Amino acid sequence: MLKAIQILGCSSGFISQRLKKPHSGNGFSLISSKTSYNSTPKSLSFRVIRMLSSPSQSNSDAPSSSSSSVAVHLAGNVRKIKFCQWCGGPAKHEIPDGEEKIRAICTLCGKIAYQNPKMVVGCLIEHDRKILLCKRNIEPSFGLWTLPAGYLEIGESAAEGAIRETWEEAGAEVEVISPFAQLDIPLIGQTYVIFLAKLKKPQFSPGPESSECCLFELDDIPFDSLAFSSIFVTLNLYIEDVKSGKVKFHYGTINKRLGTGPSDIRAFTLDYHLQV
């Protein structure tokens, strides 16, 4: 069963009588008080208002929610590619024959540089009804909390990468239980795949990229000090699942807002699809 919901991350809470009271401190809720997940699939539209501290700024090289033509004609940060990765020749930026997006094309050998999204994999580890989080010891988001996660490497499966990243960042040996969430972030070219996992033994310690590791009760998760919007969404989805009594698999697209800094992790809209 697939349902579609459009919501808006909101630091000041939701403004809608149809939504349940947000979980303490996070300003985020997915559940309608009048909707059952066992009902016939349909589209649910939740009107939510978020006040930004400053207006959005334009960015000619990135997709814009107000202009579809930008998204159609640009492929990633293509204009940053100045030279060919194969022969070193200078690159030109134009639409190749038979395509519809601007690419970096070598003026010497003619090869085209294609940019592809990166996959970030990680684990949501539950132990004694608590969640394991790591405080980042590196930029970006130094000093903020996150799930153990990082870029997938060549030669490993998504689950293997999530297990490796958990060991590197939290010194924890885990067993993957099941996929929990896939969250696409088109603006920055990333896809997050987060797995539910459990500790093989109750031992963990911060790796070089973490300054602390800690198990948090669900009510004590530091939502005001989370590192990334993807982690903000993932933890809220998990809390809502725990409340409903059934943990599900989730898929959604996080649309980051242009003109906001990386520290404003709640400046996004979420095109949310729930698969049961």
pLDDT digit string, tens, across residues 156-179: 999 999 999 999 999 999 999 999
Q: Say if residues 174 and 166 touch (Cβ distance below 8 Å).
A: yes
Question: Which pLDDT score, from 0 to 100, does residue 52 have?
Answer: 29
Question: Which pLDDT score, from 0 to 100, does residue 232 have?
Answer: 96
DSSP 17: T
Sign of CA dihedral 69, 75, 79, 80: positive
Question: Which pLDDT score, from 0 to 100, does residue 29 have?
Answer: 47
Question: Which pLDDT score, from 0 to 100, does residue 260 have?
Answer: 60
Question: Which pLDDT score, from 0 to 100, does residue 273 have?
Answer: 72
Question: Which pLDDT score, from 0 to 100, does residue 33 have?
Answer: 28
Kindly report, as residue ranges, where domains of CATH 3.90.79.10 are found in the chain: 116-272
CA-angle at 272, arms to 64 and 62, nearest 5°: 15
Distance of CA 130 to the CA centre of its chain: 21
d(CA 231, CA 123): 11
Instruction: State the architecture of 116-272 in CATH terms.
Output: Alpha-Beta Complex (3.90)
Kindly report, as residue ranges, where domains of CATH 2.20.70.10 are found in the chain: 76-114
Which residues of the chain are under the pLDDT cut of 70? Answer: 1-76, 259-263, 274-276
Question: Which pLDDT score, from 0 to 100, does residue 53 have?
Answer: 26
pTM equals: 0.74
For the record, the structure tokens of 4 come out as 């579609």
d(CA 23, CA 14): 11
Check if CATH label 2.20.70.10 holds for domain 76-114. Answer: yes
DSSP 89: P
ω into 148 cis (within 30 of 0): no
Residues 6+ away with beta carbon under 8 Å from 33:
18, 19, 20
